[in-house]
Structure 1
Amino acid sequence: MAEPQIGKDVSHSKTDDNSDSKEHVYLEETFYILTKKKSVFRVRLTSKGLSLIKETDDYSKEQTILLRDIIGSKCMRSKRRRVGASSCVCSSLAGHHLKVVDENSGDLDESDISAYLYIYAYVLKRSRRTRKRERTTITLRFRSYDRYEDNNREAQKWRTTIKCLLADTPVSYALPHNEKKLLILLNPKSGPGKARELFQTKVAPILQEAEASYDLHVTKYAKYAREFVRTRNVYAWRAIVAVGGDGVLFEILNGMFERLDWQQALEEVPLAIMPCGSGNGLARTICHHYNEPYIPQNLTGLSMALARGKKAHMDVVRVETKSKIMFSFLSVGWGLLSDIDIESERLRAIGGQRFTLWALARLVGLRKYKGVLSYAKIKDISNLPKPKHPLTIGHSVSQDDALDSPDVEAFFDCDENSDVFSSAVNGKRHSRVDSWYSVNSRRSAFYSTRGSDYHSVTSSGSEMRSPVHACMHGPASHLPSLVSQLPSHWVHEEGEFVMVHVSYQSYIGEDLLFAPSSLLSDGVMWMLIIKAGISRTQVLSFLIGMSQGNHTDGNNEFIKMVPVSAFRIVPEGPNGYLTVDGEMVEYGPIQAEIFPNIVNILVPDTK
């Protein structure tokens, strides 16, 4: 009978009442507690998770670590003890001073034949007011056999089974292996400038425990991330992660649409967001929809999503101005909220609080804007067609984002060592070419998961520049040009507005629940219209109500929320701000339409 020890950090979480009651038991073993007489743990690894049954002479108590809360596992050996320490193999365990090292380490305690399995989990804890994940480490000591090799074989069997269950692959004796890494694109200047620190302290340790390797690239200049994904072989990575604010993901998304193979790339390579900026609307929305706690600067749940790789569809919106085409995932704004967003940039060092402070300033000096608003209203949001796959390939002719310019037919690369990949798109073959570094680029080591790399772009001569001009592709528009007449069924409103803000996500900021009814992929944009004539008191009530999502309760003559599938805004006058995903665009006519299910995005595993 096995006589291992279970570590002290045992979870006290309960089983999920909604989970499948028919669980399959893969492994089962009895583990003795060396520090407590007449007490054992019967441990079962099931399709539901890790079941820990504590048995004594008086009672039996069961606890379960749900599979969705487990992030990874690792086999270890005892570390060599210092000279003069007790020679008893169990002495360090009794004092809870167990020290272990990798089995390939040169600092092994050869006298201890035990194999140790560390299981890492982040268990969801609930209290009256808060929900958060708490790190839990379960240590199982295997020493039933007289040789380390035999004990290690048993530990590895458990580890392999856990890894297969986490990867949702058939349980086998071979570890599931994904050769592709994550691509991390980190903007060190996002928000208060803590993205690098947050990644190293919050994200990297979880990826290390999950044995999820990655390539980390730190952006150096504007549109670096956009150029990167446009010109690289993105199929070499299993996902692209934006670390920073919503602006980093905006660059990545538009860089993907500047590829000839945009549809295949978006289908095969999901995107992800690690919120280290000021707004963080998409990250907050994802947590909202998947019942994941969202705590500012706590990236645990979303980091777990990177490791697990669960995907969900997300809508995108094609936005057109007089000279540019772009794709958006969050919102389009005109008026009050856009003013606050752009003008508070000077306060970005204080993080999300800049929006609150500037909102008060804009409330005192409340502005109004004259123009024409037109939109295609959705009459029944409960009965919308939802295509299962992205639309057929088309392209929006836009070179360097400028309209009415020639298209390009292929990517070119100036690096002799670049690998050229070929893929078929709509029956045609196009080149996918790895982008180039200058010969002076340097790459340095970075603390990370084994096999991960940190690519420095801070040295001189390390600029990455696309050798050809960009051309915006993507699904072809269904709308007439900006100067053409709109369809007769559209609604038109002309006058003065305090703001018009259109969002396709529930949250447009960490604490701004803009569209409570919105889903990640539902084909609906929610347009909030506030007309001039509203009092400052009503505007203040609106801003306060947005934190709870009740800002549009009881639409009145000044405020209304309308579900739309497309819209056009034509401002009058030269002064004002228009924003797309928080980024300022040229002031003037703008129109947009939504395309469902275009993008795959990584989300928390809540099954």
Structure 2
Amino acid sequence: MDQAPEPMISDRVIINGVVKPMTLSAEGQLRWSDRSLDVEKEVLGFAVEGSKIKIRSVVETSAGFCCGDSRGSLTRKSFNFEPSSLDSLRVWCEKLQQYIDSLGRPKRLFVLVNPYGGKKFASKVFIDVVKPLMEDANIEITVQETKHQGHAKEVASTLELAKYDGIVCVSGDGILVEVVNGLLERSDWNNAIRMPIGLVPAGTGNGMAKSLLDSVGEPCAPANAVLAIIRGHKRSLDVATISQGHAKFFSVLMLAWGLVADIDIESEKYRWMGSARIDFYAIKRICSLRKYNGAIKFVPAPGYESYGEAVNDEVGVATSDSESVKAHGYGYQGPDLDIKNLSWRKISGPFVSIWLHNVPWGAEETMAAPDAKFSDGYLDLIMFRDCTKLGLLSLMTEMNNGGHVKSPYVQYLKVKAFILEPGTLNSDPAREGIIDVDGEVLARGKGTYKCEQKALMAYDKLFIKVDQGLATLFSPV
């Protein structure tokens, strides 16, 4: 029979004036009386206060009230004990710190807070949740509030990364996207993109944070997200490179053209309605349904080769050669992909909507791509073509659980590379559409809704490639 491993330390300590045995096991279980704490999962850190040690932890309360949340909410709680001597106090501190250090947790984090995005409560989330938990975990933080759109990208492109163990975004998805783009535009992008990035949901969409937390059955709550960052576990994330000539944009969430893009961008005029603006404008847009001419070409993942028809001609996208890289920047140029020797397929419009997704959730209430994985090297394509208005309304109600992909009006497949050739409005050739990437206007065609967001590319052919597991995220387990 295998013997139980020797404890790291075992001693009699004083708890609430009573002498009790306490043990820290080699597996990280801190036990006393009829209680125990899992150091990795529940202990944030500790502090010495006189002759006592204060263990700072988070414990799970009763199950959450939100439908679908399988775990309860988290509450900060402290436990105090007094070792029998100063020498014992020193040993306890050494052993506790030794075990915490063995977990590979971050010690220094750079925190970006977006005080303007979403419901404008990121600063409150930082003060009430992020800062206290980070302090409990003895993590040194440097805080930067973003001042304008693109500020996080500027910061990430120049940040002295060697000073930090990770970057934390207290915001919606927008700051994450800016950070990834900033890191990939650096001359040292190959090392920079390995910097772990943490997400604390404090915006409108929170699709990435929801995808991370939902993958382990946790609620999309700031405390759960911060705990995941403190624990230091990581996972890889695919990054899509969107190219048009020498212009590039690096996407981590989604790209949409047609109905979904129109709803996302044009509903901005109803921002005063709050989150209800999306549902309201979705109904309005469906009642006055648009279809767009155009075509898509794609390299299907294994098992999806039956979609579309084979492309016999050249796909018409040039790869970047060494001279163009030198002439147009020193940052990341996208994944190497021998496009001419890949098996391309084609589907022609008109389309109601084209939606590419990198992770399952597009927002906290929208499970756009239920089969999406964080680092499988593919994008999930959700395509609406011929669909009745009633069918679309029914389909939209299923997006909170991913049921829409089972609709006969939806085609759902995975792709390795993708070409979008956007066209005009089927009912009015003088009007074109909007291409939305990660919640921002990527391209805006003729006759479209005018908003403050400046388009990054022309309303023309786009080439999208996926680099498997390029970025790194702090992730719950």
Counterparts in 2 of 1:25 and 1:601: CA distance versus 1, 3 Å: same
Q: Distance in 2 between the 1:570 and 1:162 partners?
A: 58
Alignment partner, residue 135 of structure 1: 75
CA drift of 1:325 comes to 0.7
Letter in 2 for 1:578: I
Q: Distance in 2 between the 1:24 and 1:397 partners?
A: 60
Matches within 5 A, 1:247-258: 247-258=174-185
CA drift of 1:329 comes to 0.8
For structure 1, which runs of at least 5 residues remain unmatched after alignment?
Answer: 1-20, 55-60, 78-114, 170-175, 382-394, 409-470, 481-485
Q: Distance in 1 between the 2:247 and 2:321 partners?
A: 10
CA drift of 1:75 comes to 1.2
Q: Distance in 2 between the 1:541 and 1:564 partners?
A: 26
Deviates more, 1:64-73 or 1:336-345: 64-73
Counterparts in 2 of 1:164 and 1:526: CA distance versus 1, 3 Å: same
Counterparts in 2 of 1:188 and 1:62: CA distance versus 1, 3 Å: closer
TM-superposition CA deviations, 1:173-201 (whole Å, max 9, x none): xxx997x6211122211111111111111
Counterparts in 2 of 1:51 and 1:307: CA distance versus 1, 3 Å: closer
2:413 matches 1:473? no
Alignment partner, residue 595 of structure 1: 467
Is the CA contact (8 Å cut-off) linking 2:6 and 2:25 kept in structure 1?
yes
Is the CA contact (8 Å cut-off) linking 2:10 and 2:21 kept in structure 1?
yes
TM-superposition CA deviations, 1:90-142 (whole Å, max 9, x none): xxxxxxxxxxxxxxxxxxxxxxxxx2211122223453864223325342331
CA drift of 1:347 comes to 4.3
1:584 to 425, 441, 450: 441
Alignment partner, residue 248 of structure 2: 325
Counterparts in 2 of 1:246 and 1:539: CA distance versus 1, 3 Å: same
Letter in 1 for 2:396: L
Letter in 1 for 2:260: L
2:68 matches 1:70? no
Alignment partner, residue 259 of structure 1: 186
Is the CA contact (8 Å cut-off) linking 1:396 and 1:473 kept in structure 2?
no
1:559 to 403, 406, 410: 410
2:22 to 35, 43, 51: 43
Q: Normalization by structure 1: what TM-score?
A: 0.66
2:156 to 218, 222, 229: 229
Q: Distance in 1 between the 2:325 and 2:74 partners?
A: 54
Is the CA contact (8 Å cut-off) linking 2:114 and 2:122 kept in structure 1?
yes
Is the CA contact (8 Å cut-off) linking 1:142 and 1:154 kept in structure 2?
no
Q: Distance in 2 between the 1:479 and 1:342 partners?
A: 34
2:144 matches 1:293? no
2:209 matches 1:283? yes
Alignment partner, residue 162 of structure 1: 96
Is the CA contact (8 Å cut-off) linking 1:274 and 1:299 kept in structure 2?
yes
Is the CA contact (8 Å cut-off) linking 1:278 and 1:351 kept in structure 2?
no
Counterparts in 2 of 1:214 and 1:474: CA distance versus 1, 3 Å: farther
Matches within 5 A, 1:109-148: 115-125=51-61, 127=63, 130=69, 131-142=71-82, 144-145=84-85
CA drift of 1:30 comes to 3.6
TM-superposition CA deviations, 1:371-400 (whole Å, max 9, x none): 11111111248xxxxxxxxxxxxx9689xx
1:492 to 332, 346, 353: 346
Counterparts in 2 of 1:202 and 1:397: CA distance versus 1, 3 Å: farther
Q: Distance in 2 between the 1:594 and 1:208 partners?
A: 38
For structure 2, which runs of at least 5 residues remain unmatched after alignment?
Answer: 305-318, 425-430, 444-458
Q: Normalization by structure 2: what TM-score?
A: 0.83
2:95 matches 1:205? no
**Local SS of the residue matching 2:193:** helix
CA drift of 1:407 comes to 3.5
**Local SS of the residue matching 2:334:** coil
Deviates more, 1:216-225 or 1:318-327: 318-327
Alignment partner, residue 165 of structure 2: 238
Alignment partner, residue 529 of structure 1: 383
Counterparts in 2 of 1:241 and 1:363: CA distance versus 1, 3 Å: same
CA drift of 1:588 comes to 2.4
Counterparts in 2 of 1:323 and 1:339: CA distance versus 1, 3 Å: farther
Matches within 5 A, 1:22-421: 25-31=7-13, 34=16, 41-54=20-33, 61=34, 63-65=36-38, 67-77=40-50, 115-125=51-61, 127=63, 130=69, 131-142=71-82, 144-145=84-85, 150=86, 153-168=87-102, 181-267=108-194, 269-289=195-215, 291=216, 293-295=218-220, 298-321=221-244, 324-348=247-271, 352-380=275-303, 406-408=327-329
Letter in 2 for 1:46: S
Q: Distance in 2 between the 1:323 and 1:266 partners?
A: 21
How many residues end up aligned between the 2 structures? 436
Is the CA contact (8 Å cut-off) linking 2:260 and 2:353 kept in structure 1?
yes
Q: Distance in 2 between the 1:128 and 1:199 partners?
A: 22
Letter in 2 for 1:277: G
Q: Distance in 1 between the 2:463 and 2:199 partners?
A: 26
Counterparts in 2 of 1:30 and 1:349: CA distance versus 1, 3 Å: farther
Counterparts in 2 of 1:277 and 1:24: CA distance versus 1, 3 Å: farther
Letter in 2 for 1:43: M
Q: Distance in 2 between the 1:310 and 1:274 partners?
A: 15
Letter in 2 for 1:339: D
Q: Distance in 2 between the 1:324 and 1:34 partners?
A: 65
CA drift of 1:578 comes to 0.5
Aligned-residue RMSD, C-alpha: 3.0
CA drift of 1:598 comes to 0.8
